[in-house]
Structure 1
């Protein structure tokens, strides 16, 4: 199983403590080993294969859809916002929903409300990644939750990202919002379970729609 690179320092440190703890107390070493196993599981980064249909926009996160609503954002204009809540049990690596060039990056400090709550998208600590795509401007927002303590976004302004590509993660329970351009029709509903890089959240509208 591949491990997300953000977890390597913590995993390496806990491995060292597990080995060192053995010389102090086998029981203490066992506790450290249990934590090590949890970290290895939490930072798992399985391979994902996007759908063959190139018109499908994929989920940026594993989890459950908690919001679908039409809204406005300064970067995207009118858009459909799809909120995906990641519980501590879900894979926390985030992926790019569609091909595009990164043109907007903004970190916004904020509160630590429960991520699936309605206030989280507007008031919690978050990091916005905006992309220019063939279907129009799109936005992915990583939102910290009650347990989340670190948002990681690897993308750089001017970088070209492809559908399903890893671009960051949020550590320990959180939410990701995807703002779909008006040219993309949402194909999921609240309560649906999704997987990052695989489950379609939207499809580019055809000329008849």
Structure 2
């Protein structure tokens, strides 16, 4: 069984206790509901062991999910040059831990309070609650935005400004259905397409041109 991230323990433990209580005080059949929820939380908060192939020319996907759009931008708050934004939607069945696309130092960190619209809506990156990181190394600057959705009411971050991240290192998660945006310069060749399934720490979103 894949390791379970610590944020899942309260949900799993709570359902386990509720299962025992309902089985004892009401009927074992009624306890099936919290038991099934407990199994789902074990599944949702999984943190699979992944071998990260380090590559300083690659921009790795920060999350499991589906590429819903690739949008050209004139500029970006952190990248500050023409760039592409890749939007990745995570369903409630995807792994929800997030990994750094590159090795580098966190030079920008912002948390925005906002709405909780469905994560597949076009404007959620502006309207919804989100957490923005700008990561830089000696080859490239990128930004990664965790965006809350209609079910995702909690963005978890394990990092802070000036922290150094290894490529593929865990830096946070979003609880229950959400999306991420990765912004990288146009000098980076996009290697995925709209509708493609991606895997956090494994799929290459872009390749830095020499």
The TM-score with structure 2 as length reference comes to: 0.92
Deviation at 1:33, TM superposition (A): 0.8
Residue 87 of structure 1 aligns with which residue?
91
1:41 maps to 2:43: yes
Question: CA offsets, 1:88-142, max 9 Å, x none?
Answer: 1111111100000112111111222221221112221111011122223211100
Residues 41 and 99 (structure 1), Cα distance of their counterparts in 2 relative to 1, 3 Å cut: same
Q: How does 1:120-159 map to 2 (within 5 A)?
A: 120-159=124-163
Residue 74 of structure 1 aligns with which residue?
77
Residues 53 and 161 (structure 1), Cα distance of their counterparts in 2 relative to 1, 3 Å cut: closer
Deviation at 1:43, TM superposition (A): 0.8
2:120 and 2:137 map into 1 onto residues whose CA distance is 28
Number of equivalences:
206
Unmatched runs of 5 consecutive residues or more in structure 2 = none
Give the 4+ runs in structure 1 shifted more than 6 A: none
1:115 maps to 2:115: no
2:80 and 2:186 map into 1 onto residues whose CA distance is 9
Question: 2:116, 2:153 within 8 Å by CA — same for their partners in 1?
Answer: no
The TM-score with structure 1 as length reference comes to: 0.93
Residues 94 and 106 (structure 1), Cα distance of their counterparts in 2 relative to 1, 3 Å cut: same
Deviation at 1:156, TM superposition (A): 1.3
